[in-house]
Each structure stands twice: as structure tokens, then as C-alpha cells.
Amino acid sequence: MNQEIIGRFAPSPTGRMHLGNVFAALLSFVDAKSRGGKWLLRHEDLDPQRSRREYALQVEDDLLWLGLRPDGEPEYQSNRFHLYEESLDRLRRAGMTYGCTCTRADILATQAPHQSDGRVIYGGRCRPSSLPCFAPEPETKHSVRLYVPDREIRFTDGLYGPQAVNLARECGDFIVRRADGAWAYQLAVVTDDALMGVNRVVRGSDLLLSAAQQIYLYELLGLPAPEFMHIPLLCNAQGQRLSKRDKSLAMDILRRDFTPEKIIGLTAYLCGLAPTDEPISLSAITELYATRSLTPTLTVSL
């Protein structure tokens, strides 16, 4: 069966894009387009405090400047809360969720051994003694957590290869709806990717663990999981992951000092598709991607 590839780029509209975001956008675009697929845009504006519509519009403008035109109208997660509600209902009906009244301090006090990367693992204080659990959630303010099993979730990443993740050990029961009513990232992303028909996800390697959480959610919701390919995060000359603090690599400066072809050429070079960072066109990088494999180096100094 020759299924049409549907990829996507899903930025959070909380500021101007930087080179790291552009890198992920470009690679997800060429990944889909090199195989005749579609490329969708979804603004992940779940956090009403930090998300701004003007940032989303700026992202769209920056993508168009690069020549990255999404297929169809961009989606906004803030328009899709009713869909997340339906997913949560399905998890509740399966008896796989429970209300958690722990504060952040409670969780820090009872968590399993500290993770070196600062991840906090929920120790299971509110977890029901047996599952499935259909007990009503507490009347008081609470988040909703999803039970995770003590077994390995296996998948093959397009770049990092075979992965086996035990969610009980790596993250513990995770939140699907926050105590303030906000939707958690994992539930929203799985619901959206499934309903938008996305079958190929290319994104930064900081989300590699999330892929295991998401595959588990796809299983529970009876939805097909996409193929995943995670790409290393760009680092600055000091070896730190690029962030909004790297002002020289923010899109306003990039657009002032470089052409789209220069940025595309740099991307091709950084991920090992081209021997130098000479400017190239979008169709040239798409062709390179179709015929070569990625061998990222990924330290950048401009």
C-alpha cells in the first residue's frame, strides 16, 4: 500500500523562531515533500499565558519567507479543546486515569530517584490500588493523570534506531489535564496528529521520550501512531542548545543578514546532506534529502 506521507511542523507561538526551529521546520518539510507528501502547520498554543496570535502569524510569515508553504489552513490547538475532551473521556471510560491532588512540593518530596536532566518522576501517591479504576475524581482541585504500565514501549526512530522505554521508570504516571484545566501537551499532540492524518513526525530529539508516551496514548486510544524521526538539537559555539537567548540566531536577524538559500544551505551542511554551507534552493535540499542519509554535526556559529 502506498500511503501518502503527511508530515507537520508544530511550533509554540511564544516568541520569534530561531535557527533551531527553522532547522526542524525545514527538515520536516523536505521529509514530506521529498516523497510527494503534504506538510501541515499546527500552532501549539495550549498555554494561554505565553502564546500570542501575533507570534503565530509571525511564524507563518517566517516560514513563507523560507519558501515553506503549509498545505491547508494552519490549525490552532486553542480551537481544538473539544477534541482533547473526547480523548480524555475515552481514557476515563477505559479506567486508565485518576485524579491527583498533589502539589509540586508533594511530588518533589515523594519522587523516585532524581533524574540528572531535572525531570520529575511522579511517585504514585494518588494512584488507585487496582486498575481499571472508575472511582470519581476528587471534588477539590486536581490534575488528571494517566496510569503507565511497568513495561517497555518499543519503537524504531528514523535516525536514532530502535528504542525501548519503560514509562513507569522514565516518567511515571503523567498528567493529561492540569489542575488549572489546561490540556497537557502529550494528549493534545496525539489527538491532533491522529485526527489530522499525520503519519510522519520529524522534530527535535528533546521529544524522544515523549514519543514513547505518545505511542502508549495511541495504543490506549486505538489510533494509528505515526513514524517518528528525531533530529539532534542545534547547539551554539559554546555547546549549549540554541534558545531564544541566542539573539544572533533569531529570525529577525537571520532575515536581515542572510537569504533563504543561505539558511537552507547551512541546514543541508549541518545535517550532512551537503559538503559545504553554500547557498542552495529548497528544491535542491529536497533532492539531496531524497538521495542521501542524514549525518548531523550540528554545532553552529554565525
Residue 280 in contact with Zn ion, rule: CB under 5 A: no
- The residue among 74, 11, 66 whose CA lies nearest residue 283 is 66
Displacement of CA 30 from its chain's centroid (Å) = 17
Number of residues lying near Zn ion (CB under 5 A): 4
Helix H or strand E encompassing 105: helix 104-110
Which residues are CB-neighbours of 73 under 8 A, at least 6 positions away? none
- Closer residue to Zn ion in complex, CB, 70/124: 124
Stretch that binds Zn ion, among 90-98, 124-132, 147-155, 246-254 (CB under 5 A): 124-132
Contact 8, 39 (CB under 8 A): yes
Contact 201, 231 (CB under 8 A): no
State which of residues 5, 22, 126, 187 lies at the interface with Zn ion (CB under 5 A).
Answer: 126
Residue where the block lists cell 516568541: 15
Contact 154, 211 (CB under 8 A): no
State which of residues 40, 56, 100, 188 lies at the interface with Zn ion (CB under 5 A).
Answer: 100
Q: Give the Cα separation of 55 and 43 in Å (integer).
A: 10
Minimum CB–partner distance for residue 213 and Zn ion (Å) = 18
Stretch that binds Zn ion, among 9-17, 28-36, 122-130, 286-294 (CB under 5 A): 122-130
Residue 102 in contact with Zn ion, rule: CB under 5 A: yes
- Closer residue to Zn ion in complex, CB, 106/287: 106
Let me know the angle formed at the C-alpha of 52 by 210 and 120, rounded to the nearest 5 degrees: 30
Stretch that binds Zn ion, among 92-100, 128-136, 162-170, 239-247 (CB under 5 A): 92-100
Residue 125 in contact with Zn ion, rule: CB under 5 A: yes
Minimum CB–partner distance for residue 104 and Zn ion (Å) = 11
- Closer residue to Zn ion in complex, CB, 100/201: 100
In the complex, which residues of this chain contact Zn ion (CB under 5 A)? Answer: 100, 102, 125-126
